[in-house]
Amino acid sequence: MREVTENICCSEVKVVIGEGSLSKLLDIKDHKIGVIYSKKLNIDNVIKYLSDPYLISIEDGENAKDLSNIMLLVNELFERNFDRSDYIIAVGGGTVTDIAGFVASIYLRGINLVNVPTTFLGMVDAAIGGKNGVNFNNIKNIIGTFYQPTMIISDLTFLETLPTEELKKGLAEVIKYGLTLDKELYDFLSLNKDEVLNKDKLVLEELIYRSTIDKLAVVKEDERETRGIRIVLNFGHTIGHAIEAGSGFKVPHGYAISVGMVCEAKIAEELGYAEEGVVEDVLWLLQLYGLPYDISQIDAPLDLKTALNAIEMDKKHRRNVILMPFPTRIGNWKKVEVPLNVIKGFAEQCLTK
Ligand SMILES: NC(=O)c1ccc[n+]([C@@H]2O[C@H](COP(=O)([O-])OP(=O)(O)OC[C@H]3O[C@@H](n4cnc5c(N)ncnc54)[C@H](O)[C@@H]3O)[C@@H](O)[C@H]2O)c1
C-alpha cells in the first residue's frame, strides 16, 4: 500500500493506493457519512468499514451527469441534515466521482469528500485533481467546480471485475502522462505490456502511483487552469473532443484521445516543436496496447463539420488562438499558442477517413 499527500492551494489531499487500502475508511469517525455509489456495483467491501452509513445508489454513465440528478442528491443530504463536518464518499467510475464531487462542492458550499474510484480511469485520472462537472446542452462538463477531495482511496480489488476495454480507456490517459511528463513511465509501459493487460496488481499499482504523482504535481502548480500548466493534461484532448463530438459521443473518450494524441504530436512535429521521432514513439506505445492511432480505426461515423466546430468550443481557445500542450520529446512538453484556423486545418487532414 502506498500513500501520497499533497497540499493543493488550501486543501490537503491524501491518496492511498493498493489492495486493502479501503481500510483507511476507518479513519472517518463521529460524522454522518453519505455513500453515493453506482447501482451496478456491490459495495459490501466499502460498507464494512463504515458505521451506520447512509447509502445513496445512482445510475452511472454519461447520461447520469445531469443537473436534475445533482439536485436530487442535494435534497437527500438536506433531508438528513448533513452538516459541513459530515462526509460524502463517492464510489464508482469517473461519472460517479464527477457527480458526487459536484454535489459535495455545492452543498453548504462544501462538505468533506472522499473519492473511491472503481475504474482504472478513475484511479489514474478522474478521481484526482478536484475537477468535477456535469453536462449541459450536449456539451460535456460545462457546469462544474474545482473542489479537492480530502482523501482518494484507490483499492485495486475493484479492478478484478473491470473489463479489459475499460482498462484500456484508462491506459490512454496513463500514456498521455508518459508522453508529456514522465519518460520513466513511458519506459515502464513499454516494458510491461503483458503484465498490464493481464492486470498484474503490482504493475497496475505502479501505474496508478506514478499517474497520481504526475497529475497531482501539475494540479498543485495550477489548480484552476489559470497559469497555463494544467493544460498539459489536455494533450490529445482538443482533437479527441472533436472526435467525440463529431461522432455524437459514440466514440469512447479514451479512444478519441488516443487518435487525438497522434494528430497533435504530428501537428507539433510539423510546426517544429517536437523532436524527430516523437510521432513514432507515440504511435508505437498506442499500438503496443491495441489503442486506436488513426481515424480509420474508429468504427463510428464522424461528422467532420461538427468535429471541427467543436474545436472552437475548446476551453483553451481564446480570441482565435488555442493554447496547445505539445510534446517536445518523450516526457517533456511546451505550451504553444496556435491560430485556430491552423489547428482546424490540421484537424481536417487527421479526421478525414
Ligand atoms: N474530473 C476529472 O478530472 C475527470 C477526468 C477524466 C474523466 N472524467 C470523467 O470521467 C467519466 C468517465 O469515467 P469512467 O471511464 O470511469 O466511466 P464510468 O463511470 O461510466 O464507468 C465505466 C463503466 O465501468 C463500470 N464499472 C465501474 N467500476 C467497475 C468495476 N469495478 N468493475 C466493473 N465495472 C465497473 C461502470 O458501471 C460503467 O459501466 C467521464 O464522464 C469523464 O468526463 C473526469
79 annotated to bind ligand: no
Task: Tell me how far the alpha carbon of residue 15 lies from the centroid of ligand 1, in angstroms.
Answer: 18
Q: Does 328 belong to an annotated binding site? A: no
168-351 adopts what CATH topology?
Answer: Dehydroquinate synthase-like, alpha domain (1.20.1090)
Tell which atom from ligand 1 comes closest to the C-alpha of 65: 41
Per CATH, the number for 2-161 is 3.40.50.1970
Residue ranges of alpha helices (H) inside the chain are: 44-47, 67-79, 94-106, 120-121, 164-180, 183-191, 193-197, 201-221, 237-246, 253-270, 278-288, 304-312, 340-351
Q: Measured from the CB, is residue 63 less than 6 Å from ligand 1? A: no
Ligand 1 and 126: CB distance under 6 A:
yes
Catalytic residues: 109, 131, 173, 215, 225, 230, 234, 237, 241, 253
Return d(Cα 46, Cα 278) in angstroms, integer. Answer: 43
Q: Around Cβ 313, how many Cβ atoms within 10 Å?
A: 13
**Residue ID of nearest Cα to ligand 1 atom 20:** 61
Instruction: For the chain, give every domain's residue range.
Output: 2-161, 168-351
The tens-digit pLDDT sequence of the chain (353 residues) is 999 999 999 999 999 999 999 999 999 999 999 999 999 999 999 999 999 999 999 999 999 999 999 999 999 999 999 999 999 999 999 999 999 999 999 999 999 999 999 999 999 999 999 999 999 887 888 999 999 999 999 999 999 999 999 999 999 999 999 999 999 999 999 999 999 999 999 999 999 999 999 999 999 999 999 999 999 999 999 999 999 999 999 999 999 999 999 999 999 999 999 999 999 999 999 999 999 999 999 999 999 999 999 998 777 777 889 999 999 999 999 999 999 999 999 999 999 97
